Amino acid sequence: MSLATHLEEFHGLPVLDFPDADARTELPDAAAVAWRVSTPTYCDPGDEKWGARFERFLKTVDTRRVRAIVVGGWEEAYENSSAGAVTALLGANDRLTALEAVFLGDMNSEDCEISWIIQSDVTPLLAAYPALRELGVRGGTGLAFPSLRHTGLETLVVETGGLGAEVVRGIAGSDLPALENLELWLGTDEYGGDSSPEDLAPLLSGEAFPALRGLGLCNSVVQDRVAAAVASAPVVARLDRLGLGMGVLTDEGAAALLDGQPLTHLRELDLEYHYLSDAMRERITAALAPHGVRVVLDEAQSPEDDGDGDVWRYVAVAE
């Protein structure tokens, strides 16, 4: 997974950067794009701040038709949290009456490393926008997600280099009856990813999220343990898509997955970025591909040997 570029599509819409004040740009129909509102994270004194840019956006476009907003960078995102952007969005909920989707923190590695992005409690957005269908968040530092109920949310994606156990428990313990797609980048403990498969218990048991059809538990330093937990998880029986890529998945975790419950009902099993042997890759493909399962497998990552007998394996996205 590369964070070298910004989102090009969100909520099924092309992403369009809201232009600078002096730009002479003809704007499209407000409902036809996902509007990216962003300022440089390394601000010069004369740069327009994110709050001012967002206010100009509200005055410029037909807010009654805006369906999706992408919050890009805000000034000094490595020191200032997303709380300002969240508060601004909350204050505009009476104008953004058609808003269906929000992505918070669309910054690439040049803007701000993912582990440096300072987030905040994002759940007030769900309270303020009961019709919100999709929420995406990038960055786990300072992120809070206490358990809540929201009847409209269909897709939740949280991209981090390290997702805290409290946040994982908050998400897994939420009441989201319409949720169809959930993707969590669990990360590594070096960047705050201190969760365990036990924190996912309500989700894996199938008791939470009755509409869930797509699940990604990705980018974990303990991906073998995650795969072993998924192997016997009741929720898997109703999934169409399962993603366990981007992490330190070895033959041990893959074998546990294959030796668990049947996976032949899946439409897709995504294991992109892994540490599997050729033999295990062949075994997975032979077990699932004849049943019509699309198996996503790229070339294996190579462990690093420090020369002292220690072998190191890394998640796809950490810092």
> Mind listing the pLDDT tens digit for each residue in 124-135?
999 999 999 999
At 277, the pLDDT band (50, 70, 90 cuts) reads very high
For β-strands 13-17 and 9-10, DSSP reports them as: antiparallel
Cα–Cα distance, 4 to 107 (Å, whole number): 9
Cα–Cα distance, 203 to 169 (Å, whole number): 9
* Bridge partners (DSSP) listed for residue 14: 9
Classify residue 224 by burial, with Cβ atoms within 10 Å: 0-12, 13-18, 19+. Answer: buried
| The amino acid at 232 | S
Which residue, among 135, 247, 144, 120, has the nearest Cα to 181 in the 3D structure?
A: 135
**For residue 123, pLDDT beyond 80:** yes
**For residue 295, pLDDT beyond 80:** yes
Reading the block at residue 191, the tokens are 């960047």
Cα–Cα distance, 254 to 267 (Å, whole number): 18
Instruction: Give the N- to C-terminal CA distance of the chain in Å, as an integer.
Output: 13
- 67-120: per-residue pLDDT in tens? 999 999 999 999 999 999 999 999 999 999 999 999 999 999 999 999 999 999
Residue 102 sits at φ, ψ, to 5 deg, of -135, 135
Please, what is the average pLDDT of the chain? 95
Reading the block at residue 110, the tokens are 């040049």
At 2, the pLDDT band (50, 70, 90 cuts) reads low
Cα–Cα distance, 291 to 294 (Å, whole number): 9
208's enclosing H/E stretch is none
Q: What is the DSSP letter of 141?
A: B
Structure confidence at residue 305 (pLDDT): 80
Residue 29 sits at φ, ψ, to 5 deg, of -55, 135
- 231-259: per-residue pLDDT in tens? 999 999 999 999 999 999 999 999 999 99
**For residue 216, pLDDT beyond 80:** yes
